[in-house]
Amino acid sequence: MLDNAANLRPPRRVLVVVTAVLALIICDGGPAAEACSMPIGWRPLSAVERMSNAAVVLFGRVRAVYPDERFSYSSKTTVYTANVEVYCIMKGDRTEQFVNMSEAGV
Q: What pLDDT shows up at residue 7? A: 52
pLDDT of residue 28: 55
Instruction: List per-residue pLDDT tens for the chain, 106 residues long.
Output: 455 545 555 455 555 555 665 565 555 555 544 567 778 888 988 989 988 998 888 899 999 988 877 776 666 667 888 899 999 999 988 888 999 888 777 5
What is the 3-class SS of 18-48, one letter each residue? Answer: HHHHHHHHHHCCCHHHHHCCCCCCCCCCCHH
Q: Which long-range contacts (CB under 8 A, 24 or more apart) does 23-27 make?
A: none
DSSP element (H, E) containing 62: strand 57-67
